[in-house]
Amino acid sequence: MAPPPVCWSDLPEDLLELILKQVMDIADLYQCRNTCHLWRSLAKKLLALSPPQLLGTRDLYNNKNHNRIKLSDYFTGNSTFFETPKFKSHDGCTYVPNHVHSSRGWLVIHYTKSSSSPNQCIYLYNPLSGMGFWLSIFLRDNSNNPYSLPIQPENVVFPPIKLYLSSKKPTSISCIIFNLGPGIYAAWERKFWRPGDKKRIPILRSGFCINSIIHYKDEFYGIDPFPHHSYVNGEIEQFFVQLEFMGSSPGVKRIPTKINRPQYMSTNHASQFLVESLCGSLLLVCKTWIHIDSIWRFEVYKLDWGKSEWEKITSLGDQAIFLEEDSICIQASASTKYKKNCIYFMDWDLRHLVAIYDMGNQTVSQPLFPLPDFDWRYPSWFRPEI
Protein backbone atom coordinates (compact mmCIF):
# COMPACT_ATOMS: atom_id res chain seq x y z
CA MET A 1 0.00 0.00 0.00
CA ALA A 2 1.42 3.36 -0.98
CA PRO A 3 2.33 5.71 1.90
CA PRO A 4 0.25 8.88 2.20
CA PRO A 5 1.57 11.77 0.11
CA VAL A 6 3.89 14.17 1.86
CA CYS A 7 2.45 17.61 2.27
CA TRP A 8 4.06 20.98 2.78
CA SER A 9 3.23 21.22 6.45
CA ASP A 10 5.60 18.29 6.95
CA LEU A 11 8.43 20.55 5.91
CA PRO A 12 10.53 21.53 8.91
CA GLU A 13 11.07 25.23 9.56
CA ASP A 14 14.71 25.26 8.55
CA LEU A 15 13.88 23.88 5.11
CA LEU A 16 11.09 26.41 4.71
CA GLU A 17 13.65 29.07 5.55
CA LEU A 18 15.93 27.70 2.82
CA ILE A 19 13.12 28.07 0.31
CA LEU A 20 12.30 31.61 1.39
CA LYS A 21 15.98 32.52 1.24
CA GLN A 22 15.83 31.79 -2.47
CA VAL A 23 12.99 34.25 -3.03
CA MET A 24 14.76 36.88 -5.04
CA ASP A 25 12.37 39.78 -4.93
CA ILE A 26 11.99 41.60 -1.61
CA ALA A 27 8.45 42.49 -2.63
CA ASP A 28 7.62 38.75 -2.72
CA LEU A 29 9.40 38.14 0.57
CA TYR A 30 7.53 41.04 2.13
CA GLN A 31 4.19 39.62 0.95
CA CYS A 32 5.01 36.36 2.75
CA ARG A 33 4.30 38.18 5.98
CA ASN A 34 0.59 37.96 5.25
CA THR A 35 0.48 34.20 4.76
CA CYS A 36 0.54 33.08 8.38
CA HIS A 37 2.40 33.76 11.63
CA LEU A 38 5.24 31.30 10.95
CA TRP A 39 5.89 32.80 7.54
CA ARG A 40 5.73 36.30 8.99
CA SER A 41 8.46 35.55 11.52
CA LEU A 42 10.62 33.88 8.85
CA ALA A 43 10.13 36.78 6.44
CA LYS A 44 11.00 39.25 9.20
CA LYS A 45 14.19 37.31 9.99
CA LEU A 46 15.25 37.13 6.34
CA LEU A 47 14.44 40.77 5.62
CA ALA A 48 16.63 41.79 8.54
CA LEU A 49 19.50 40.06 6.73
CA SER A 50 18.75 41.62 3.35
CA PRO A 51 20.68 44.65 2.27
CA PRO A 52 18.70 47.86 1.87
CA GLN A 53 17.60 48.88 -1.61
CA LEU A 54 18.82 51.97 -3.40
CA LEU A 55 16.06 54.51 -3.65
CA GLY A 56 15.92 57.30 -6.13
CA THR A 57 13.86 59.41 -8.46
CA ARG A 58 14.51 60.81 -11.86
CA ASP A 59 15.37 64.42 -12.40
CA LEU A 60 11.90 65.82 -12.14
CA TYR A 61 12.01 68.84 -14.35
CA ASN A 62 13.98 67.41 -17.21
CA ASN A 63 12.09 64.23 -17.64
CA LYS A 64 8.52 63.25 -18.32
CA ASN A 65 8.65 60.28 -15.97
CA HIS A 66 8.71 62.35 -12.86
CA ASN A 67 6.16 60.27 -11.08
CA ARG A 68 8.26 57.13 -10.87
CA ILE A 69 10.32 55.93 -7.97
CA LYS A 70 13.00 53.35 -8.49
CA LEU A 71 14.15 50.77 -5.97
CA SER A 72 17.33 48.94 -6.96
CA ASP A 73 19.07 45.98 -5.48
CA TYR A 74 22.67 47.07 -5.57
CA PHE A 75 23.91 43.48 -5.36
CA THR A 76 21.92 42.02 -8.24
CA GLY A 77 21.33 45.09 -10.39
CA ASN A 78 17.57 44.37 -10.46
CA SER A 79 15.23 47.32 -10.19
CA THR A 80 11.58 47.86 -9.55
CA PHE A 81 9.61 50.95 -10.43
CA PHE A 82 6.71 52.32 -8.46
CA GLU A 83 4.32 54.93 -9.74
CA THR A 84 3.58 57.74 -7.36
CA PRO A 85 -0.06 58.65 -7.07
CA LYS A 86 -1.42 61.88 -8.50
CA PHE A 87 -2.61 64.49 -6.12
CA LYS A 88 -5.06 67.28 -6.76
CA SER A 89 -5.89 69.60 -3.95
CA HIS A 90 -9.22 71.30 -3.29
CA ASP A 91 -8.06 74.29 -5.32
CA GLY A 92 -7.78 72.03 -8.35
CA CYS A 93 -4.03 72.34 -8.80
CA THR A 94 -1.82 69.37 -9.62
CA TYR A 95 1.02 68.49 -7.30
CA VAL A 96 4.10 66.68 -8.56
CA PRO A 97 6.60 64.62 -6.61
CA ASN A 98 9.70 66.61 -5.79
CA HIS A 99 11.73 64.52 -3.42
CA VAL A 100 11.62 61.11 -1.80
CA HIS A 101 13.43 59.63 1.17
CA SER A 102 12.61 56.81 3.52
CA SER A 103 12.04 56.32 7.21
CA ARG A 104 11.22 53.09 9.06
CA GLY A 105 10.11 51.22 5.98
CA TRP A 106 7.97 54.06 4.62
CA LEU A 107 8.70 56.22 1.61
CA VAL A 108 8.23 59.88 2.33
CA ILE A 109 7.29 61.54 -0.93
CA HIS A 110 7.32 65.29 -1.00
CA TYR A 111 4.92 66.91 -3.45
CA THR A 112 4.97 70.50 -4.64
CA LYS A 113 2.58 72.45 -6.78
CA SER A 114 3.47 72.68 -10.39
CA SER A 115 2.59 76.35 -10.56
CA SER A 116 4.30 79.19 -8.72
CA SER A 117 3.38 78.41 -5.16
CA PRO A 118 5.23 77.02 -2.17
CA ASN A 119 2.34 74.76 -1.22
CA GLN A 120 3.50 71.30 -0.43
CA CYS A 121 2.26 68.02 0.91
CA ILE A 122 3.61 64.66 1.87
CA TYR A 123 2.59 61.16 0.90
CA LEU A 124 3.66 58.35 3.20
CA TYR A 125 3.87 55.25 1.06
CA ASN A 126 4.82 51.64 1.63
CA PRO A 127 5.65 50.44 -1.90
CA LEU A 128 5.60 46.78 -0.90
CA SER A 129 2.17 46.70 0.67
CA GLY A 130 0.73 49.51 -1.44
CA MET A 131 -0.54 51.32 1.64
CA GLY A 132 -0.31 55.08 1.53
CA PHE A 133 -1.49 58.18 3.38
CA TRP A 134 -1.65 61.81 2.43
CA LEU A 135 -0.42 64.40 4.88
CA SER A 136 -1.83 67.61 3.55
CA ILE A 137 -0.70 69.53 6.56
CA PHE A 138 1.91 71.60 4.85
CA LEU A 139 -0.30 73.53 2.58
CA ARG A 140 0.66 77.15 2.74
CA ASP A 141 -0.63 80.03 0.76
CA ASN A 142 1.35 82.57 -1.20
CA SER A 143 1.52 85.06 1.63
CA ASN A 144 3.90 82.78 3.49
CA ASN A 145 6.74 83.52 1.12
CA PRO A 146 8.98 85.96 3.02
CA TYR A 147 11.01 87.00 0.01
CA SER A 148 8.04 87.72 -2.24
CA LEU A 149 9.94 86.41 -5.19
CA PRO A 150 8.19 85.10 -8.25
CA ILE A 151 8.83 81.40 -8.25
CA GLN A 152 9.37 79.53 -11.48
CA PRO A 153 9.32 75.76 -11.25
CA GLU A 154 12.07 75.47 -13.85
CA ASN A 155 14.84 77.08 -11.89
CA VAL A 156 13.83 76.63 -8.29
CA VAL A 157 14.61 73.54 -6.29
CA PHE A 158 11.99 73.28 -3.61
CA PRO A 159 13.59 72.36 -0.31
CA PRO A 160 12.57 68.87 0.61
CA ILE A 161 10.53 68.17 3.69
CA LYS A 162 12.05 65.28 5.53
CA LEU A 163 10.13 63.29 8.03
CA TYR A 164 11.51 61.08 10.78
CA LEU A 165 9.28 58.37 12.13
CA SER A 166 9.97 56.86 15.51
CA SER A 167 8.50 53.50 14.65
CA LYS A 168 7.27 51.54 11.67
CA LYS A 169 3.69 52.13 12.77
CA PRO A 170 2.98 55.79 12.09
CA THR A 171 0.03 55.69 14.45
CA SER A 172 2.09 54.94 17.52
CA ILE A 173 2.17 57.62 20.13
CA SER A 174 5.78 58.60 19.53
CA CYS A 175 6.70 61.69 17.72
CA ILE A 176 7.36 62.57 14.15
CA ILE A 177 9.76 65.33 13.26
CA PHE A 178 9.50 67.35 10.13
CA ASN A 179 12.63 68.89 8.79
CA LEU A 180 11.89 71.72 6.43
CA GLY A 181 14.52 73.51 4.44
CA PRO A 182 16.99 74.87 3.69
CA GLY A 183 15.83 77.00 0.87
CA ILE A 184 15.19 80.48 -0.35
CA TYR A 185 12.17 80.79 1.88
CA ALA A 186 13.71 80.49 5.28
CA ALA A 187 16.45 78.97 7.26
CA TRP A 188 15.80 75.42 8.34
CA GLU A 189 12.54 74.91 10.12
CA ARG A 190 11.92 71.92 12.22
CA LYS A 191 8.70 70.94 13.92
CA PHE A 192 7.53 68.20 16.19
CA TRP A 193 4.21 66.52 15.69
CA ARG A 194 2.42 63.49 17.01
CA PRO A 195 -0.53 61.74 15.39
CA GLY A 196 -3.60 63.29 16.98
CA ASP A 197 -1.98 66.68 17.69
CA LYS A 198 -3.82 69.66 16.32
CA LYS A 199 -0.80 71.86 15.90
CA ARG A 200 2.82 71.39 15.01
CA ILE A 201 5.36 72.53 17.57
CA PRO A 202 8.35 74.51 16.29
CA ILE A 203 11.70 73.22 17.46
CA LEU A 204 13.66 76.11 18.89
CA ARG A 205 17.36 76.80 19.06
CA SER A 206 18.03 74.57 16.09
CA GLY A 207 20.67 76.70 14.45
CA PHE A 208 21.20 76.55 10.74
CA CYS A 209 20.44 72.89 10.18
CA ILE A 210 20.36 69.53 11.89
CA ASN A 211 21.52 66.49 9.94
CA SER A 212 21.42 62.77 10.42
CA ILE A 213 18.42 62.78 12.70
CA ILE A 214 18.06 59.39 14.33
CA HIS A 215 15.52 57.89 16.67
CA TYR A 216 17.57 56.13 19.30
CA LYS A 217 16.32 54.68 22.59
CA ASP A 218 13.06 56.62 22.47
CA GLU A 219 14.69 59.97 21.79
CA PHE A 220 15.64 61.93 18.68
CA TYR A 221 19.28 62.91 18.23
CA GLY A 222 21.09 64.72 15.44
CA ILE A 223 24.21 66.49 14.29
CA ASP A 224 24.59 70.23 14.04
CA PRO A 225 27.28 70.63 11.37
CA PHE A 226 27.79 74.33 12.13
CA PRO A 227 27.58 74.69 15.89
CA HIS A 228 28.33 78.06 17.39
CA HIS A 229 31.40 77.88 19.60
CA SER A 230 32.46 74.54 18.17
CA TYR A 231 35.09 73.91 20.74
CA VAL A 232 34.13 74.55 24.30
CA ASN A 233 37.28 73.35 25.92
CA GLY A 234 39.97 71.55 23.95
CA GLU A 235 38.43 68.39 22.62
CA ILE A 236 34.89 68.97 23.82
CA GLU A 237 32.55 69.75 20.94
CA GLN A 238 28.95 70.84 20.55
CA PHE A 239 27.91 69.07 17.35
CA PHE A 240 25.85 66.33 19.03
CA VAL A 241 22.29 67.40 19.87
CA GLN A 242 19.10 65.97 21.23
CA LEU A 243 15.72 67.13 19.93
CA GLU A 244 13.36 67.40 22.86
CA PHE A 245 9.66 67.80 22.52
CA MET A 246 8.41 67.04 25.98
CA GLY A 247 8.45 69.78 28.55
CA SER A 248 7.72 73.44 28.42
CA SER A 249 10.29 74.47 25.86
CA PRO A 250 10.59 72.01 23.00
CA GLY A 251 13.81 72.51 21.18
CA VAL A 252 17.35 71.45 20.61
CA LYS A 253 19.52 70.53 23.55
CA ARG A 254 23.23 70.45 22.93
CA ILE A 255 25.12 67.57 24.44
CA PRO A 256 28.78 68.49 24.81
CA THR A 257 30.87 65.45 24.05
CA LYS A 258 34.57 64.82 23.96
CA ILE A 259 36.09 63.56 20.76
CA ASN A 260 39.69 63.20 19.72
CA ARG A 261 39.77 63.44 15.97
CA PRO A 262 42.23 64.48 13.25
CA GLN A 263 41.87 67.99 11.85
CA TYR A 264 40.71 66.77 8.44
CA MET A 265 37.77 65.09 10.19
CA SER A 266 36.57 68.19 11.98
CA THR A 267 32.92 69.18 11.82
CA ASN A 268 33.66 71.74 9.14
CA HIS A 269 35.39 69.32 6.80
CA ALA A 270 33.67 65.99 7.22
CA SER A 271 30.19 64.63 6.71
CA GLN A 272 28.94 63.06 9.89
CA PHE A 273 26.36 60.32 10.32
CA LEU A 274 24.73 58.78 13.37
CA VAL A 275 23.84 55.10 13.26
CA GLU A 276 22.72 52.57 15.82
CA SER A 277 24.86 49.45 15.98
CA LEU A 278 23.42 45.95 16.28
CA CYS A 279 24.18 45.79 20.00
CA GLY A 280 22.44 49.12 20.62
CA SER A 281 25.39 51.52 20.83
CA LEU A 282 25.36 54.87 19.10
CA LEU A 283 28.02 55.20 16.44
CA LEU A 284 29.32 58.30 14.69
CA VAL A 285 30.72 57.80 11.20
CA CYS A 286 32.82 60.64 9.81
CA LYS A 287 33.58 60.69 6.13
CA THR A 288 35.73 63.10 4.19
CA TRP A 289 37.36 63.41 0.79
CA ILE A 290 41.05 64.29 0.86
CA HIS A 291 41.72 66.24 -2.33
CA ILE A 292 45.51 66.05 -2.22
CA ASP A 293 45.58 62.28 -2.08
CA SER A 294 42.29 61.73 -3.96
CA ILE A 295 41.05 59.30 -1.38
CA TRP A 296 38.19 58.87 1.03
CA ARG A 297 38.90 58.72 4.74
CA PHE A 298 36.58 57.32 7.36
CA GLU A 299 36.63 57.39 11.13
CA VAL A 300 34.11 55.57 13.30
CA TYR A 301 33.42 56.40 16.94
CA LYS A 302 31.22 54.88 19.60
CA LEU A 303 29.58 56.99 22.27
CA ASP A 304 30.40 56.26 25.87
CA TRP A 305 27.40 57.90 27.53
CA GLY A 306 28.86 57.76 31.00
CA LYS A 307 31.97 59.73 30.03
CA SER A 308 30.21 61.78 27.30
CA GLU A 309 33.05 60.76 25.08
CA TRP A 310 33.31 59.36 21.57
CA GLU A 311 35.77 56.46 21.49
CA LYS A 312 37.36 55.57 18.21
CA ILE A 313 36.70 52.05 16.98
CA THR A 314 38.75 50.37 14.31
CA SER A 315 36.49 47.49 13.41
CA LEU A 316 32.78 46.94 12.92
CA GLY A 317 33.14 43.24 13.67
CA ASP A 318 30.58 41.31 11.67
CA GLN A 319 28.46 44.35 10.91
CA ALA A 320 28.10 46.35 7.72
CA ILE A 321 26.95 49.95 7.60
CA PHE A 322 24.95 51.47 4.75
CA LEU A 323 25.65 55.14 5.02
CA GLU A 324 23.44 58.05 4.05
CA GLU A 325 21.14 60.46 5.81
CA ASP A 326 19.22 57.49 7.28
CA SER A 327 22.08 55.11 7.95
CA ILE A 328 21.57 51.45 8.64
CA CYS A 329 23.71 48.89 10.40
CA ILE A 330 23.13 45.22 9.63
CA GLN A 331 24.58 41.82 10.35
CA ALA A 332 26.91 40.47 7.69
CA SER A 333 28.05 36.89 7.35
CA ALA A 334 29.57 34.50 4.86
CA SER A 335 26.17 33.93 3.30
CA THR A 336 25.19 37.59 2.90
CA LYS A 337 26.03 39.47 -0.28
CA TYR A 338 27.35 42.40 1.66
CA LYS A 339 30.59 42.04 3.54
CA LYS A 340 31.35 42.48 7.19
CA ASN A 341 33.41 45.35 8.52
CA CYS A 342 32.53 47.44 5.47
CA ILE A 343 30.82 50.76 4.93
CA TYR A 344 28.65 51.14 1.82
CA PHE A 345 28.41 54.81 0.94
CA MET A 346 27.42 57.23 -1.81
CA ASP A 347 30.53 58.35 -3.61
CA TRP A 348 29.78 61.65 -5.26
CA ASP A 349 33.35 62.72 -5.85
CA LEU A 350 34.31 59.79 -7.99
CA ARG A 351 30.87 59.79 -9.61
CA HIS A 352 30.07 56.29 -8.43
CA LEU A 353 26.68 55.85 -6.97
CA VAL A 354 27.82 53.44 -4.31
CA ALA A 355 31.31 52.47 -3.18
CA ILE A 356 32.60 50.20 -0.47
CA TYR A 357 35.06 51.14 2.26
CA ASP A 358 36.72 48.18 3.91
CA MET A 359 37.59 49.05 7.51
CA GLY A 360 40.04 46.17 7.70
CA ASN A 361 42.45 47.21 4.99
CA GLN A 362 41.21 50.81 4.74
CA THR A 363 40.60 50.69 1.01
CA VAL A 364 37.74 51.77 -1.18
CA SER A 365 36.60 49.42 -3.89
CA GLN A 366 34.59 49.86 -7.04
CA PRO A 367 30.85 49.34 -7.03
CA LEU A 368 29.44 46.17 -8.47
CA PHE A 369 26.97 47.83 -10.78
CA PRO A 370 27.55 51.34 -12.09
CA LEU A 371 23.78 51.81 -12.61
CA PRO A 372 24.42 54.29 -15.44
CA ASP A 373 20.98 54.51 -16.95
CA PHE A 374 19.32 56.45 -14.22
CA ASP A 375 19.72 60.03 -13.21
CA TRP A 376 19.79 59.57 -9.47
CA ARG A 377 18.48 62.49 -7.54
CA TYR A 378 18.71 62.40 -3.76
CA PRO A 379 19.57 58.68 -3.65
CA SER A 380 19.22 57.00 -0.30
CA TRP A 381 18.63 53.57 1.19
CA PHE A 382 15.27 51.93 1.69
CA ARG A 383 14.69 49.06 4.08
CA PRO A 384 11.26 47.48 4.51
CA GLU A 385 10.19 46.63 8.03
CA ILE A 386 7.82 43.94 9.18
Is residue 31 close enough to count as binding other proteins by CB under 8 A? yes
Q: Which of residues 130-149 bind other proteins (CB under 8 A)?
A: 131, 133-135, 137-140, 144
Site size toward other proteins, by CB under 8 A: 46
90 binds other proteins (CB under 8 A): no
Q: Cβ closer to other proteins: 31 or 277? A: 31
Supply the minimum distance, in Å, between the C-beta of residue 89 and other proteins: 12
Near other proteins in 236-295, by CB under 8 A: none
- According to CB under 8 A, which residues from 218 to 237 bind other proteins? none
Among 44, 66, 68, 169, binds other proteins (CB under 8 A): 169
x/- track of binding to other proteins for residues 94-133 (CB under 8 A): -----------------------------------x-x-x
Can you give the three-state secondary structure of the chain, one letter per residue? CCCCCCCHHHCCHHHHHHHHHCCCCHHHHHHHHHCCHHHHHHHHHHHHCCCCEEEEECCCCCCCCCCEEEEECCCCCCEEEEECCCEECCCCCEEEEEEEEEECCEEEEEEEECCCCCCEEEEEECCCCCCEEEECCCCCCHHHCCCCCCCCCCCCCCCCEEEECCCCCCCCCCCEEEEECCCCCCCCEEEEECCCCCCCEECECCCCCCEEEEEECCEEEEECCCCCCCEEECCEECCEEEEECCCCCCEEEECCEEECCCHHHCCCCCEEEEEECCCCCEEEEEEEEECCCCEEEEEEEEEECCCCEEEEECCCCCEEEECCCCCEEEECCCCCCCCCCEEEEEECCCCEEEEEEECCCCEEECCCCCCCCCCCEEEEEECCCC
Q: How far is the CB of 44 from other proteins (least distance, A)?
A: 14
Shortest separation between residue 155's beta carbon and other proteins, angstroms? 25
Determine, following the binding rule CB under 8 A, whether residue 306 of this chain makes contact with other proteins.
no
Q: Which of 13, 15, 65, 350 binds other proteins (CB under 8 A)?
A: 15
The CB-of-191 to other proteins minimum distance in angstroms stands at 8
- The reply to whether 24 sits near other proteins by the rule CB under 8 A is yes
Region of 23-31, 94-102, 220-228, 234-242 interacting with other proteins (CB under 8 A): 23-31
Write out the binding residues for other proteins, residues 173-202 only, by CB under 8 A.
193, 195-200
Among positions 13, 18, 63, 204, the unique one binding other proteins when judged by CB under 8 A: 18
Chain residues that interact with other proteins, rule: CB under 8 A: 3, 5-11, 15, 18-25, 27-28, 31-32, 34-37, 39, 129, 131, 133-135, 137-140, 144, 169-171, 193, 195-200
